[in-house]
Amino acid sequence: MILGIPPQALFGQLLIGLINGSFYAMLSLGLSVIFGLLNIINFTHGAQYMMGAFVAYFLLQGVGLGYWWALLLAPIAVGILGVIMERVMLRRLYSLDHLYGLLLTFGLGLIIQGLFRNRFGSSGLPYAIPSQLTGGRNLGFMVLPNYRAWVIVFSLAICLATWFVIERTKLGSYLRAATENPALVQAFGVNVPRMITLTYGFGVALAAVAGVLAAPIYQVNPLMGADLIIVVFAVVVIGGMGSIMGSIVTGFGLGLIEGLTKVFYPEASNTVIFVIMALVLLVKPAGLFGRAQ
């Protein structure tokens, strides 16, 4: 017994917390990257996460391509859709107040979720865990399902790779420079509009990856991203959108805290992240890793 809680229950919830945390981290990372360059809060993010899971489902049902193909193809497909969205619609809004971007992406999210709900209803569609990752291993204090371990390791790897590209490579330095001063970077001969398009596509692709990872855990559901995205917004406010590593740390950390709350005070598990957000706003309005504007 640890603090009056059976260790299986404690570690079980911590594991669920880490899983949720990996989705928070990947989604808030995508939002941060998009916000950095486009100054738009992508409200469609939840719908794009859902579309990632659905692409995996379609690939399996329609073409017979399994999980590993989905992990590769879903982000590409959803990313391309994102690129089209940026080119056709978002691009027109850059000269306007940022709030219009929020309203447009909110509307697009409603359309996408409504269309999927018309076609597939509100109940979840099952998606099997890939055969290589079924089963689990006994760690002595708990049984760790292989697929969940994979989700944590893979999403951590994706997050760290994103951090490395943005903070440590030449491409990333262009990106950071364009975030600071797009006009100057363009004057140096970098094609900033194309960079913006690709950045949006990349952020959206991250959401789709998270969707594919989530498909075997939560089932594939047209509304799977609708409530999640609001929690992710709170995560983003807590972390502050200034720092890539900040998004990753905040995402995983809040997932863990949520898991712990489920053990010690389950009634508050839905709201704990929002309460933390309120506290952070009181103490450090710019967010834990954010810069004051």
Residues in contact with another protein by CB under 8 A are 35, 41, 89, 92-93, 95-100, 102-104, 106-115, 117-118, 227, 230-231, 233-234, 236-237, 267, 270-271, 274-275, 277-278, 281-282, 285, 293
Residue 64 — φ and ψ, nearest 5°? 80, 15
For another protein, the closer of residues 109 and 216 by Cβ is 109
For another protein, the closer of residues 149 and 230 by Cβ is 230
Least separation in angstroms between residue 145's CB and another protein is 28
For another protein, the closer of residues 82 and 109 by Cβ is 109
What one-character DSSP code corresponds to residue 131? G
Residue 56: Cβ-neighbour burial (10 angstroms; 0-12, 13-18, 19+)? buried
Least separation in angstroms between residue 104's CB and another protein is 4
Least separation in angstroms between residue 247's CB and another protein is 14
Residue of 208, 217, 160 whose CA lies nearest to 47: 208
What one-character DSSP code corresponds to residue 63? I
For another protein, the closer of residues 148 and 221 by Cβ is 221
For another protein, the closer of residues 27 and 234 by Cβ is 234
Q: How far apart are CA 43 and CA 112, in angstroms?
A: 12
Residues in contact with 76: Cβ distance below 8 Å, sequence separation at least 6, in sequence order: 205
Least separation in angstroms between residue 270's CB and another protein is 4
Which whole-number Å values give the CA distances from 228 to 58, 69, 162, 180, in the listed order? 22, 25, 22, 30
Least separation in angstroms between residue 237's CB and another protein is 6
**Structural Rg of the chain based on CA atoms:** 19
Residue of 98, 74, 177 whose CA lies nearest to 90: 98
For another protein, the closer of residues 43 and 67 by Cβ is 43
Q: How far apart are CA 171 and CA 150, in angstroms?
A: 29
Least separation in angstroms between residue 236's CB and another protein is 7
